[in-house]
Amino acid sequence: MGRNWNDQEDETLRSMVATHGKQWALIATFIPGRTASQVAARWEKCIDPNITKGPFTPDEDALIIEFVAKNGPRSWPRITQLIPQRSSKQCRERWFNHLDPNVVKQAWTPEEDNTIYTQHQSLGPKWSLIAKMIPGRTDNAVKNRWNSSISKRIQKDANGNEYLLPDSSKRAHKTSKSQKERPPPILTTAPPKPPALEIPPPQPANQLQPTPSLDTNLISPSIPFTPFTSTTPSFTGGDGTIFSPTSPMPGFQTTPGAFGGLMSPITPGSNFLLSPTTPMKQDFGEANIFK
């Protein structure tokens, strides 16, 4: 790891940029022990007064995504035309570490931690090479995982052999618990069909329907039951004549073509019953109603 920048180096960098612009190779010759890339990174990340150093805003993220959609994840110096308050390096890191949809943002798994641990033993801190072995993890994410967690969990047994303790952080415990307690997927099935309705077969139009049985106890014994018997009250005509089911209205049997010509009048006390099996006939010339 390189040494930290001191105040004298930062002041030299400011004066050189004011004089020579962003000629990093030239400026590096005035700051012993610093390379051109180190000088440029120091300026862009810390010294440049025009650079915003806080978190990226949603609008800035949208501009970076739009830039990558048109140009791909390259040509980063051109992005400063869209986001002048950010350096090209900041935008590049923002994309590869956060905005790239291929970046995995879930909690680290024990398998990933073990890969970092074993590869670090053989390769050392070559984060780019190690990141290629863990899909979805960037070199910066791998480095941060090593420094913040894995390096602090390395232990030695009684024989002096190193081993890696499991992650006991709250986040890892919460992730493992949520995976164990995750309910099974809900299987959606089609609702059962209602039973088919039983529709009775249609009856012929001329077929006689069975007559429901009547309780004869409900009929007054003083009035003989006939097909014309009704529970409707009697009513009075305009001349005071009282009409009832047992006294047909005058003219009911005498009007030509009316129903009165189809049957004989019923007189009070008559026991006449109209048989449903005996059709009524009426002569209308040559045609009969019932044949």
Domains of the chain are: 7-47 (1.10.10.60), 58-99 (1.10.10.60), 110-164 (1.10.10.60)
pLDDT number for residue 87:
87
- Would you state the pLDDT for residue 169? 74
Distance CA 245, CA 226 (A): 9
Res 168: pLDDT: 84
Taking the alpha carbons at both ends of the chain, their separation in whole angstroms is 121
SS3 category, 258:
coil
| pLDDT at site 52 | 86
Q: What pLDDT shows up at residue 53?
A: 83
Contact 245, 266 (CB under 8 A): no
Positive or negative, the CA dihedral 154, 156, 157, 161 is positive
Q: Are strands 283-284 and 242-243 parallel, antiparallel or unpaired?
A: unpaired
User: Which is nearest to 142 in space by CA: 113, 167, 110, 171?
Assistant: 113
Other CB atoms within 10 A of residue 66 CB: 12
Report whether 151 contacts 167 (CB < 8 A): no
CA-to-CA dists, residue 180 to 16, 176, 221, 264, angstroms: 59, 6, 85, 94
Structure tokens at 11: 């002041």
Secondary structure of the chain: what % helix, strand, coil (to 5)?
40, 5, 55
Cβ pair 103, 97 in contact under 8 A: yes
Report the C-alpha gap between 86 and 97 in whole angstroms: 16
Residue ranges of the chain with per-residue pLDDT less than 50: 178-190, 219-220, 222, 229-230, 232, 235, 252, 254-255, 257-262, 270, 272-276, 278, 282, 284, 287-289, 291
